[in-house]
Amino acid sequence: HAKRQGKNNFQIYGSYVRGMTNGNLKLETLMHKALEQQELLLLYQPQMDAKTNTIYGVEGLIRWNNDELGMVSPQEFIPVAEETGLIVPIGEWVIRTACKQNKEWQQKGLSPIVVSVNLSIRQFYQSDLIEKIDAILKETQLDPCFLELEITESMAMHADTAIVILTELKKLGVKIAIDDFGTGYSSLNYLKRFPIDHLKVDRSFVKDIQVDDDRDIITTIIALGHNLKMKVIAEGVETKEQVAFLKKAKCDILQGYYYSKPLDSKMIEEMLLHQS
Ligand code: C2E
Ligand code: MG
Ligand code: MG
Ligand code: MG
């Protein structure tokens, strides 16, 4: 049954595979080699402090560059990686790469920023997640307060287990963000019990900021976050009107094409150099 569901998922995401026979298998085979052949890369999108207009942090976003397929979007291959279990080593690579890179920026004397990474559901419920992250932090010697982990609302659906995992992660000293907030299942009761640092307002709410109802939703989410002692991040910020509204609404951190697309590490370094 799970396999069937996975296939359906894949058909939704894997647009280009529709024309292939056995597309799933093919993608799987190619993905197995992606890690060892160094076809994966991590880009970083700046997150701006709304008050100071300086870089608060960057979100690591994975890319897969394959000879045969070209650039494959994470929305296409992450679901397949989830299904096959490849997400575990890939996810570990993402965390290690982000931590290593952040430490390198710090060692170059750039002003310290937070790097966030997206966790997939399988990774989040992996029994040795805490040990692995702890080991990576020790190995890279990154101060845990400069690593942030993003999970989505729906990943926290097994609330009691999720609270245990999040509490353990917080003990390591890392930060936690709820991604795509407002789009999934959410219980305010659990939200209150979760040790969360940041709420990321989903792009869909930011997109329609000219619509009164959506403004109300954003204003409400910001108030909710602040009441729960969280900072609020808006994602998908594209226009100066959105920036103006979000600043006025006291949104703490802004992320989106208005400021920058995801960039390679060199370009982030340039940006950091110019602001210090
Ligand atoms: P997300 O975590 O919600 O990431 C935000 C997505 O919105 C990114 O797409 C980013 O490039 C895009 N974006 C940023 N600013 C704007 C904007 O102003 N306008 C628009 N239209 N889009 C914007 P991307 O990089 O294609 O990633 C898509 C999703 O794939 C991510 O959504 C995340 O769920 C997943 N993903 C990416 N990297 C990883 C990873 O390393 N591990 C896992 N498990 N998932 C990942
Ligand atoms: Mg994210
Ligand atoms: Mg998001
Ligand atoms: Mg999103």
The rounded Å distance from CA 73 to ligand 3 centre is 15
Q: What is the ipTM of this complex?
A: 0.98
The rounded Å distance from CA 114 to ligand 3 centre is 16
Q: Among candidates 233, 239, 231, which has minimal Cα distance to 259?
A: 239
Q: Among candidates 143, 50, 159, 38, which has minimal Cα distance to 99?
A: 143
By CB atoms closer than 10 A (0-12, 13-18, 19+), residue 211 is exposed
Q: Is 118 in the pocket of ligand 1 (CB under 6 A)?
A: yes
Report how far residue 110's alpha carbon sits from residue 78's, in angstroms, rounded to the nearest whole number: 32
Q: Is the pLDDT of residue 212 over 80?
A: no
Residue closest via CA to ligand 1's atom 41 equals 62
Report how far residue 68's alpha carbon sits from residue 168's, in angstroms, rounded to the nearest whole number: 41
Q: Among candidates 260, 255, 252, 259, which has minimal Cα distance to 230?
A: 252
The rounded Å distance from CA 61 to ligand 1 centre is 6
Q: Is 14 in the pocket of ligand 1 (CB under 6 A)?
A: no
Give me the pLDDT at residue 121, please: 94
Q: Is 65 in the pocket of ligand 1 (CB under 6 A)?
A: no
pLDDT in tens, 254-265: 999 999 999 999
Pocket test for ligand 1, best of 15, 41, 48, 61 (most atoms within 8 A of CB): 61
Q: Which residues pair with 117 in a beta bridge?
A: 149
pLDDT in tens, 26-72: 888 899 999 889 999 999 999 999 999 999 999 999 999 999 999 99
The rounded Å distance from CA 234 to ligand 4 centre is 10
The rounded Å distance from CA 57 to ligand 2 centre is 12
Report how far residue 275's alpha carbon sits from residue 270's, in angstroms, rounded to the nearest whole number: 9
Report how far residue 52's alpha carbon sits from residue 43's, in angstroms, rounded to the nearest whole number: 24
Q: Is 185 in the pocket of ligand 1 (CB under 6 A)?
A: no
pLDDT in tens, 121-163: 999 999 999 999 999 999 999 999 999 999 998 888 788 899 9
Mean pLDDT to the nearest integer, 199-227: 89
Q: Is the pLDDT of residue 5 over 50?
A: no
Q: Is 262 in the pocket of ligand 1 (CB under 6 A)?
A: yes
Q: Is the pLDDT of residue 20 over 60?
A: no
CA dihedral 101, 107, 112, 118 (to 10 degrees): 10
Contacts of 105 (CB under 8 A, 6+ apart): 112, 113, 265, 268, 269, 272
Q: Quick one: pLDDT band at residue 221, thresholds 50, 70, 90?
A: very high
Q: Quick one: pLDDT band at residue 25, thresholds 50, 70, 90?
A: confident
Give me the pLDDT at residue 23, please: 59
Report how far residue 225's alpha carbon sits from residue 61's, in angstroms, rounded to the nearest whole number: 24
Percent share of the chain, pLDDT over 70: 91
